[in-house]
Amino acid sequence: MSSCCGGVPDKQRLLEVIQDNAAQIRKSFLLDGEEFFVTFSAGIALFPDHGRDFQSLIRNADLALVTAKQRGKSQIVLFDSALEKRVLRQIEITNLLHSAIPNGEIEVFYQPIMSMHLDRITSVEALIRWHHPTQGFIPPLDFIPIAEMSEMIHDLTWFVIERCFRQRSAWEEIGIHLDISINLSTKVLVSPDFLPRLSQLLTETGADPHRFAFEITESVLVDSPESTVGLLKKTKQLGFRLDLDDFGSGYSSLTYLYALPIDVVKLDRGFIKNLDRKGKGLKMMESIIRLAHGMDMLVVSEGVEDTEQLSLVKAWGSDFVQGFLFAKPMPGDQIPDFLEKNDLQLSF
Ligand code: C2E
Ligand code: MG
Ligand code: MG
Protein backbone atom coordinates (compact mmCIF):
# COMPACT_ATOMS: atom_id res chain seq x y z
CA MET A 1 0.00 0.00 0.00
CA SER A 2 1.36 3.43 -0.81
CA SER A 3 -0.36 6.26 0.96
CA CYS A 4 -0.04 9.98 0.70
CA CYS A 5 -1.58 12.02 3.42
CA GLY A 6 -2.46 15.63 3.83
CA GLY A 7 -2.76 17.67 6.98
CA VAL A 8 -1.51 15.00 9.37
CA PRO A 9 -0.15 16.90 12.35
CA ASP A 10 1.67 14.09 14.09
CA LYS A 11 3.86 11.65 12.12
CA GLN A 12 4.18 9.34 15.10
CA ARG A 13 0.40 9.10 15.44
CA LEU A 14 0.09 8.38 11.72
CA LEU A 15 2.61 5.52 11.96
CA GLU A 16 0.69 4.10 14.90
CA VAL A 17 -2.57 4.18 12.93
CA ILE A 18 -0.93 2.44 9.97
CA GLN A 19 0.65 -0.15 12.24
CA ASP A 20 -2.77 -0.85 13.78
CA ASN A 21 -4.25 -1.29 10.32
CA ALA A 22 -1.36 -3.54 9.34
CA ALA A 23 -1.93 -5.74 12.37
CA GLN A 24 -5.59 -6.19 11.27
CA ILE A 25 -4.51 -7.18 7.76
CA ARG A 26 -1.52 -9.40 8.63
CA LYS A 27 -3.56 -12.47 9.35
CA SER A 28 -3.27 -16.07 8.30
CA PHE A 29 -6.22 -18.00 6.92
CA LEU A 30 -6.94 -21.59 6.00
CA LEU A 31 -7.81 -22.58 2.45
CA ASP A 32 -8.37 -26.26 1.67
CA GLY A 33 -6.57 -27.13 4.90
CA GLU A 34 -3.49 -25.09 3.99
CA GLU A 35 -2.43 -22.00 5.92
CA PHE A 36 -1.88 -18.79 3.93
CA PHE A 37 -0.42 -15.53 5.21
CA VAL A 38 -1.26 -11.97 4.21
CA THR A 39 1.70 -9.58 4.40
CA PHE A 40 1.48 -5.81 4.47
CA SER A 41 4.04 -3.26 3.31
CA ALA A 42 3.45 0.49 3.26
CA GLY A 43 5.20 3.51 1.77
CA ILE A 44 4.17 6.87 3.15
CA ALA A 45 4.53 10.40 1.78
CA LEU A 46 3.26 13.41 3.68
CA PHE A 47 1.90 16.75 2.47
CA PRO A 48 3.54 19.26 2.25
CA ASP A 49 7.03 17.91 3.19
CA HIS A 50 7.14 15.21 0.51
CA GLY A 51 5.14 16.86 -2.28
CA ARG A 52 2.74 19.69 -2.85
CA ASP A 53 0.62 18.04 -5.51
CA PHE A 54 -1.13 14.70 -5.83
CA GLN A 55 1.27 13.29 -8.44
CA SER A 56 4.47 13.96 -6.51
CA LEU A 57 2.92 12.59 -3.33
CA ILE A 58 1.86 9.38 -5.05
CA ARG A 59 5.26 9.04 -6.73
CA ASN A 60 7.13 9.52 -3.44
CA ALA A 61 4.83 7.18 -1.53
CA ASP A 62 5.55 4.64 -4.27
CA LEU A 63 9.33 5.10 -3.91
CA ALA A 64 8.94 4.53 -0.15
CA LEU A 65 6.90 1.41 -0.91
CA VAL A 66 9.64 0.03 -3.20
CA THR A 67 12.10 0.46 -0.31
CA ALA A 68 9.68 -1.18 2.14
CA LYS A 69 9.37 -4.25 -0.09
CA GLN A 70 13.13 -4.46 -0.58
CA ARG A 71 13.68 -4.45 3.17
CA GLY A 72 11.68 -7.63 3.43
CA LYS A 73 8.16 -8.56 4.20
CA SER A 74 5.80 -6.36 6.19
CA GLN A 75 7.73 -3.10 6.45
CA ILE A 76 6.42 0.44 6.80
CA VAL A 77 8.66 3.16 5.33
CA LEU A 78 8.32 6.94 5.46
CA PHE A 79 9.65 8.81 2.40
CA ASP A 80 12.78 10.94 2.72
CA SER A 81 15.09 12.57 0.20
CA ALA A 82 18.01 10.15 0.78
CA LEU A 83 15.62 7.32 0.01
CA GLU A 84 14.56 9.07 -3.20
CA LYS A 85 18.19 9.39 -4.32
CA ARG A 86 18.87 5.73 -3.58
CA VAL A 87 15.78 4.37 -5.32
CA LEU A 88 16.30 6.57 -8.39
CA ARG A 89 19.93 5.37 -8.63
CA GLN A 90 18.68 1.78 -8.37
CA ILE A 91 16.22 2.36 -11.19
CA GLU A 92 18.97 3.97 -13.29
CA ILE A 93 21.39 1.08 -12.65
CA THR A 94 18.70 -1.47 -13.44
CA ASN A 95 18.05 0.24 -16.79
CA LEU A 96 21.75 0.56 -17.63
CA LEU A 97 22.46 -3.05 -16.67
CA HIS A 98 20.07 -4.34 -19.32
CA SER A 99 22.45 -3.37 -22.09
CA ALA A 100 25.73 -3.84 -20.20
CA ILE A 101 26.52 -7.37 -21.42
CA PRO A 102 25.38 -6.89 -25.04
CA ASN A 103 27.38 -3.62 -25.22
CA GLY A 104 30.55 -5.34 -24.02
CA GLU A 105 30.75 -3.21 -20.85
CA ILE A 106 31.18 -6.19 -18.51
CA GLU A 107 34.56 -7.83 -17.96
CA VAL A 108 36.01 -10.32 -15.52
CA PHE A 109 39.16 -9.44 -13.53
CA TYR A 110 41.20 -11.97 -11.55
CA GLN A 111 42.87 -11.40 -8.19
CA PRO A 112 45.78 -13.71 -7.32
CA ILE A 113 45.61 -15.82 -4.16
CA MET A 114 48.89 -16.85 -2.55
CA SER A 115 49.50 -20.23 -0.93
CA MET A 116 51.38 -19.81 2.35
CA HIS A 117 52.59 -23.40 2.18
CA LEU A 118 53.91 -23.32 -1.38
CA ASP A 119 54.88 -19.65 -1.37
CA ARG A 120 53.36 -19.03 -4.75
CA ILE A 121 50.10 -18.03 -6.44
CA THR A 122 47.93 -21.12 -6.84
CA SER A 123 44.55 -19.61 -7.62
CA VAL A 124 42.65 -16.45 -8.48
CA GLU A 125 39.26 -15.03 -7.58
CA ALA A 126 37.10 -13.88 -10.48
CA LEU A 127 35.65 -10.43 -9.86
CA ILE A 128 33.16 -8.77 -12.16
CA ARG A 129 33.97 -5.32 -13.59
CA TRP A 130 31.55 -2.88 -15.20
CA HIS A 131 32.88 0.09 -17.16
CA HIS A 132 30.00 2.21 -18.40
CA PRO A 133 30.87 4.51 -21.35
CA THR A 134 29.59 7.68 -19.66
CA GLN A 135 29.35 6.76 -15.98
CA GLY A 136 32.80 5.14 -15.82
CA PHE A 137 33.63 2.34 -13.40
CA ILE A 138 30.67 1.13 -11.38
CA PRO A 139 31.80 -1.01 -8.41
CA PRO A 140 30.28 -4.50 -8.01
CA LEU A 141 28.80 -3.62 -4.65
CA ASP A 142 26.81 -0.82 -6.37
CA PHE A 143 25.18 -3.13 -8.89
CA ILE A 144 25.35 -6.79 -7.76
CA PRO A 145 22.76 -6.29 -4.96
CA ILE A 146 20.50 -4.51 -7.49
CA ALA A 147 21.01 -7.27 -10.07
CA GLU A 148 20.12 -9.75 -7.33
CA MET A 149 16.76 -8.04 -6.85
CA SER A 150 15.93 -8.63 -10.51
CA GLU A 151 16.56 -11.46 -12.92
CA MET A 152 19.74 -9.80 -14.21
CA ILE A 153 21.95 -11.60 -11.73
CA HIS A 154 21.44 -14.76 -13.82
CA ASP A 155 22.89 -13.27 -17.02
CA LEU A 156 25.78 -11.67 -15.14
CA THR A 157 26.66 -14.86 -13.28
CA TRP A 158 26.53 -17.09 -16.36
CA PHE A 159 28.63 -14.56 -18.22
CA VAL A 160 31.28 -14.75 -15.47
CA ILE A 161 31.16 -18.57 -15.22
CA GLU A 162 31.57 -19.01 -18.97
CA ARG A 163 34.41 -16.45 -19.12
CA CYS A 164 36.20 -18.26 -16.28
CA PHE A 165 35.85 -21.67 -17.91
CA ARG A 166 37.32 -20.33 -21.15
CA GLN A 167 40.00 -18.21 -19.44
CA ARG A 168 41.34 -21.18 -17.52
CA SER A 169 41.67 -23.22 -20.73
CA ALA A 170 43.51 -20.30 -22.36
CA TRP A 171 45.95 -20.16 -19.42
CA GLU A 172 46.39 -23.95 -19.50
CA GLU A 173 47.51 -23.70 -23.12
CA ILE A 174 50.42 -21.49 -22.09
CA GLY A 175 51.35 -23.60 -19.07
CA ILE A 176 49.58 -21.64 -16.35
CA HIS A 177 47.64 -23.88 -14.01
CA LEU A 178 45.63 -21.68 -11.70
CA ASP A 179 42.38 -22.60 -9.99
CA ILE A 180 39.57 -20.05 -10.23
CA SER A 181 37.04 -19.10 -7.53
CA ILE A 182 33.73 -17.70 -8.75
CA ASN A 183 31.25 -15.73 -6.62
CA LEU A 184 27.83 -17.36 -6.72
CA SER A 185 24.61 -15.61 -5.71
CA THR A 186 22.11 -17.74 -3.85
CA LYS A 187 19.44 -16.74 -6.33
CA VAL A 188 21.38 -18.39 -9.16
CA LEU A 189 22.25 -21.47 -7.11
CA VAL A 190 18.60 -22.15 -6.22
CA SER A 191 17.30 -21.60 -9.72
CA PRO A 192 16.07 -24.94 -11.17
CA ASP A 193 18.33 -24.68 -14.23
CA PHE A 194 21.57 -24.15 -12.25
CA LEU A 195 22.89 -27.73 -12.20
CA PRO A 196 21.75 -28.74 -15.73
CA ARG A 197 23.16 -25.53 -17.21
CA LEU A 198 26.42 -25.94 -15.32
CA SER A 199 26.82 -29.52 -16.58
CA GLN A 200 26.04 -28.39 -20.11
CA LEU A 201 28.61 -25.60 -19.96
CA LEU A 202 31.24 -28.02 -18.65
CA THR A 203 30.59 -30.25 -21.65
CA GLU A 204 30.61 -27.34 -24.12
CA THR A 205 33.85 -25.80 -22.83
CA GLY A 206 35.65 -28.98 -21.70
CA ALA A 207 36.44 -27.24 -18.38
CA ASP A 208 37.62 -29.40 -15.47
CA PRO A 209 35.30 -28.67 -12.49
CA HIS A 210 38.00 -29.74 -10.02
CA ARG A 211 39.92 -26.56 -10.86
CA PHE A 212 37.03 -24.25 -9.91
CA ALA A 213 35.42 -23.19 -6.66
CA PHE A 214 32.14 -21.43 -6.03
CA GLU A 215 32.17 -18.80 -3.31
CA ILE A 216 28.92 -18.69 -1.38
CA THR A 217 27.96 -16.57 1.61
CA GLU A 218 26.11 -17.36 4.81
CA SER A 219 23.00 -15.89 3.24
CA VAL A 220 22.43 -19.25 1.50
CA LEU A 221 21.19 -20.62 4.78
CA VAL A 222 19.26 -17.50 5.74
CA ASP A 223 17.55 -17.10 2.38
CA SER A 224 16.78 -20.71 1.64
CA PRO A 225 17.77 -23.34 4.14
CA GLU A 226 17.81 -27.15 3.86
CA SER A 227 17.10 -27.58 0.17
CA THR A 228 20.16 -25.41 -0.55
CA VAL A 229 22.47 -27.76 1.29
CA GLY A 230 21.30 -30.53 -1.07
CA LEU A 231 22.06 -28.33 -4.06
CA LEU A 232 25.50 -27.49 -2.72
CA LYS A 233 26.25 -31.18 -2.24
CA LYS A 234 25.23 -31.89 -5.83
CA THR A 235 27.46 -29.05 -7.04
CA LYS A 236 30.34 -30.65 -5.17
CA GLN A 237 29.50 -34.03 -6.69
CA LEU A 238 30.05 -32.44 -10.10
CA GLY A 239 33.62 -31.74 -8.91
CA PHE A 240 33.48 -28.08 -7.80
CA ARG A 241 34.99 -26.90 -4.53
CA LEU A 242 32.90 -24.71 -2.21
CA ASP A 243 34.28 -21.69 -0.36
CA LEU A 244 32.44 -19.80 2.38
CA ASP A 245 33.07 -16.14 1.53
CA ASP A 246 33.21 -13.16 3.88
CA PHE A 247 33.27 -15.22 7.07
CA GLY A 248 33.35 -12.85 10.02
CA SER A 249 31.26 -10.13 8.40
CA GLY A 250 27.65 -9.68 9.43
CA TYR A 251 26.27 -12.23 11.80
CA SER A 252 28.70 -15.09 11.24
CA SER A 253 27.89 -18.09 13.25
CA LEU A 254 30.02 -21.15 13.75
CA THR A 255 26.87 -23.10 12.85
CA TYR A 256 27.55 -22.31 9.20
CA LEU A 257 30.86 -24.12 9.37
CA TYR A 258 29.20 -27.42 10.01
CA ALA A 259 25.82 -26.82 8.38
CA LEU A 260 27.33 -26.09 4.96
CA PRO A 261 29.36 -28.61 2.95
CA ILE A 262 32.30 -26.26 2.49
CA ASP A 263 35.99 -26.91 1.81
CA VAL A 264 37.44 -23.45 2.36
CA VAL A 265 36.63 -20.57 4.72
CA LYS A 266 37.48 -17.06 3.53
CA LEU A 267 38.01 -14.71 6.48
CA ASP A 268 36.48 -11.35 5.71
CA ARG A 269 38.65 -8.32 5.05
CA GLY A 270 36.85 -6.25 7.71
CA PHE A 271 37.52 -8.95 10.26
CA ILE A 272 41.26 -8.72 9.67
CA LYS A 273 41.33 -4.93 9.37
CA ASN A 274 39.44 -4.13 12.55
CA LEU A 275 40.77 -6.86 14.73
CA ASP A 276 42.39 -6.02 18.02
CA ARG A 277 45.87 -7.34 17.41
CA LYS A 278 46.51 -8.55 20.91
CA GLY A 279 44.70 -10.51 23.54
CA LYS A 280 41.24 -11.83 22.79
CA GLY A 281 41.09 -10.83 19.10
CA LEU A 282 44.25 -12.70 18.27
CA LYS A 283 43.21 -15.78 20.23
CA MET A 284 39.82 -15.76 18.52
CA MET A 285 41.38 -15.76 15.03
CA GLU A 286 43.74 -18.57 15.95
CA SER A 287 40.85 -20.57 17.36
CA ILE A 288 38.67 -20.06 14.29
CA ILE A 289 41.48 -21.21 12.02
CA ARG A 290 42.23 -24.19 14.25
CA LEU A 291 38.54 -25.07 14.27
CA ALA A 292 38.36 -24.87 10.45
CA HIS A 293 41.47 -27.05 10.16
CA GLY A 294 39.97 -29.52 12.63
CA MET A 295 36.98 -29.78 10.29
CA ASP A 296 39.28 -30.42 7.29
CA MET A 297 38.75 -26.97 5.86
CA LEU A 298 41.40 -24.66 4.51
CA VAL A 299 41.49 -20.94 5.32
CA VAL A 300 41.99 -17.92 3.07
CA SER A 301 42.63 -14.52 4.66
CA GLU A 302 41.15 -11.76 2.52
CA GLY A 303 42.19 -8.13 2.28
CA VAL A 304 45.80 -8.37 3.42
CA GLU A 305 47.32 -5.00 2.57
CA ASP A 306 50.58 -4.80 4.48
CA THR A 307 53.38 -6.98 5.79
CA GLU A 308 52.22 -6.61 9.38
CA GLN A 309 48.87 -8.16 8.47
CA LEU A 310 50.69 -10.83 6.48
CA SER A 311 52.82 -11.87 9.47
CA LEU A 312 49.69 -12.01 11.60
CA VAL A 313 47.68 -14.24 9.27
CA LYS A 314 50.74 -16.43 8.75
CA ALA A 315 51.13 -16.79 12.50
CA TRP A 316 47.46 -17.71 12.84
CA GLY A 317 48.03 -20.56 10.39
CA SER A 318 46.10 -19.19 7.40
CA ASP A 319 46.67 -21.44 4.37
CA PHE A 320 46.13 -18.78 1.70
CA VAL A 321 46.32 -15.01 1.50
CA GLN A 322 44.51 -12.66 -0.86
CA GLY A 323 45.03 -8.92 -0.83
CA PHE A 324 46.45 -5.79 -2.37
CA LEU A 325 49.81 -6.60 -0.77
CA PHE A 326 50.27 -9.22 -3.49
CA ALA A 327 48.05 -7.94 -6.27
CA LYS A 328 44.89 -6.07 -7.15
CA PRO A 329 42.36 -7.73 -9.47
CA MET A 330 43.53 -7.55 -13.11
CA PRO A 331 42.36 -8.61 -16.58
CA GLY A 332 43.01 -12.25 -17.49
CA ASP A 333 45.58 -11.42 -20.15
CA GLN A 334 47.76 -9.58 -17.61
CA ILE A 335 48.07 -12.62 -15.35
CA PRO A 336 50.92 -14.33 -17.30
CA ASP A 337 53.05 -11.16 -17.18
CA PHE A 338 52.26 -10.62 -13.52
CA LEU A 339 53.32 -14.16 -12.66
CA GLU A 340 56.48 -13.90 -14.73
CA LYS A 341 57.52 -10.55 -13.25
CA ASN A 342 56.87 -11.68 -9.74
CA ASP A 343 58.18 -15.19 -10.31
CA LEU A 344 55.27 -16.34 -8.21
CA GLN A 345 53.89 -19.24 -10.15
CA LEU A 346 55.45 -22.49 -11.28
CA SER A 347 53.72 -25.12 -13.37
CA PHE A 348 52.81 -28.24 -11.47
P1 C2E B 1 34.33 -10.59 -2.35
O2 C2E B 1 33.83 -11.78 -3.06
O3 C2E B 1 34.59 -10.72 -0.90
O4 C2E B 1 35.62 -10.12 -3.13
C5 C2E B 1 36.75 -9.55 -2.53
C6 C2E B 1 36.68 -8.04 -2.63
O7 C2E B 1 37.70 -7.46 -1.83
C8 C2E B 1 36.94 -7.52 -4.05
O9 C2E B 1 36.21 -6.32 -4.20
C10 C2E B 1 38.43 -7.22 -4.01
O11 C2E B 1 38.84 -6.28 -4.99
C12 C2E B 1 38.53 -6.65 -2.62
N13 C2E B 1 39.89 -6.80 -2.07
C14 C2E B 1 40.73 -7.83 -2.17
N15 C2E B 1 41.87 -7.59 -1.52
C16 C2E B 1 41.75 -6.36 -0.95
C17 C2E B 1 42.61 -5.54 -0.14
O18 C2E B 1 43.72 -5.90 0.21
N19 C2E B 1 42.12 -4.32 0.21
C20 C2E B 1 40.89 -3.88 -0.16
N21 C2E B 1 40.51 -2.68 0.23
N22 C2E B 1 40.05 -4.62 -0.92
C23 C2E B 1 40.49 -5.86 -1.31
P24 C2E B 1 35.27 -6.05 -5.46
O25 C2E B 1 35.89 -6.59 -6.71
O26 C2E B 1 34.91 -4.61 -5.39
O27 C2E B 1 34.03 -6.94 -5.16
C28 C2E B 1 33.18 -6.66 -4.08
C29 C2E B 1 32.17 -7.76 -3.90
O30 C2E B 1 31.27 -7.80 -5.01
C31 C2E B 1 32.77 -9.15 -3.82
O32 C2E B 1 33.30 -9.37 -2.54
C33 C2E B 1 31.55 -9.99 -4.13
O34 C2E B 1 30.72 -10.10 -3.00
C35 C2E B 1 30.83 -9.13 -5.17
N36 C2E B 1 31.20 -9.63 -6.49
C37 C2E B 1 32.27 -9.33 -7.27
N38 C2E B 1 32.22 -10.02 -8.43
C39 C2E B 1 31.12 -10.80 -8.37
C40 C2E B 1 30.51 -11.75 -9.26
O41 C2E B 1 31.02 -12.07 -10.35
N42 C2E B 1 29.34 -12.32 -8.84
C43 C2E B 1 28.78 -12.03 -7.63
N44 C2E B 1 27.61 -12.65 -7.30
N45 C2E B 1 29.31 -11.15 -6.78
C46 C2E B 1 30.48 -10.55 -7.14
MG1 MG C 1 34.38 -13.61 -3.08
MG1 MG D 1 35.06 -12.02 0.37
Please state the domain extents for the chain: 2-79, 94-341
Q: Whose CA is nearest to atom 37 of ligand 1?
A: 127
* Choice between 322 and 74, residue whose per-residue pLDDT is larger: 322
Ligand 1 in reach of 140 Cβ (< 6 A): yes
Q: Whose CA is nearest to atom 8 of ligand 1?
A: 127
* Ion ligand 2 contact residues with beta carbon within 5 A: 183, 215, 245
Pocket probe mutation, ligand 1, options 124, 148, 183, 264, max atoms within 8 Å of Cβ: 183
Compute the distance from residue 127 Cα to the ligand 1 centre, in Å. 6
Compute the distance from residue 74 Cα to the ligand 3 centre, in Å. 30
Residue 161: per-residue pLDDT: 98
Give the residue-averaged pLDDT of 157-163.
98
Ligand 1 in reach of 185 Cβ (< 6 A): yes
pLDDT-derived band at 202 (thresholds 50, 70, 90) equals: very high
Ligand 1 in reach of 329 Cβ (< 6 A): yes
* Choice between 6 and 221, residue whose per-residue pLDDT is larger: 221
pTM of the model: 0.89
Residue 346: per-residue pLDDT: 47
Share of the chain above pLDDT 90, in %: 64
In tens, the pLDDT along 331-343 reads: 999 999 999 988 7
* Choice between 2 and 156, residue whose per-residue pLDDT is larger: 156
Residue 17: per-residue pLDDT: 86
CATH, domain 94-341, list 3.40.640.10, 3.20.20.450, 3.40.50.300, 1.20.120.160:
3.20.20.450
Compute the distance from residue 291 Cα to the ligand 2 centre, in Å. 21
Give the residue-averaged pLDDT of 211-236.
87
Q: Is residue 193 predicted with pLDDT exceeding 90?
A: yes
Compute the distance from residue 304 Cα to the ligand 2 centre, in Å. 14
In tens, the pLDDT along 232-283 reads: 999 999 999 999 999 987 666 777 888 889 999 999 988 778 766 667 777 8
71: which residues sit within 8 A by CB, 6+ positions away? 77
Residue 85: per-residue pLDDT: 93
Q: How many other CB atoms are there within 10 angstroms of residue 17's CB atom?
A: 13
Compute the distance from residue 216 Cα to the ligand 2 centre, in Å. 8
Pocket probe mutation, ligand 1, options 107, 121, 138, 144, max atoms within 8 Å of Cβ: 144
Residue 2: per-residue pLDDT: 54
* Choice between 49 and 157, residue whose per-residue pLDDT is larger: 157
Compute the distance from residue 201 Cα to the ligand 2 centre, in Å. 21
Residue 66: per-residue pLDDT: 87
Residue 252: per-residue pLDDT: 67
Residue range 2-79 forms a domain whose CATH class is alpha beta
Residue 347: per-residue pLDDT: 41
Give the residue-averaged pLDDT of 107-134.
96
pLDDT-derived band at 348 (thresholds 50, 70, 90) equals: very low
In tens, the pLDDT along 91-112 reads: 999 999 999 999 999 999 999 9
Displacement of CA 96 from its chain's centroid (Å): 20
What integer best gives the mean pLDDT of the chain?
89
Pocket probe mutation, ligand 1, options 113, 127, 309, max atoms within 8 Å of Cβ: 127
Compute the distance from residue 320 Cα to the ligand 2 centre, in Å. 14
Q: Whose CA is nearest to atom 10 of ligand 1?
A: 329
In tens, the pLDDT along 16-68 reads: 888 888 888 887 777 777 777 788 889 999 999 999 999 999 999 999 998 88
Q: Whose CA is nearest to atom 7 of ligand 1?
A: 303
pLDDT-derived band at 9 (thresholds 50, 70, 90) equals: low
Residue 344: per-residue pLDDT: 59
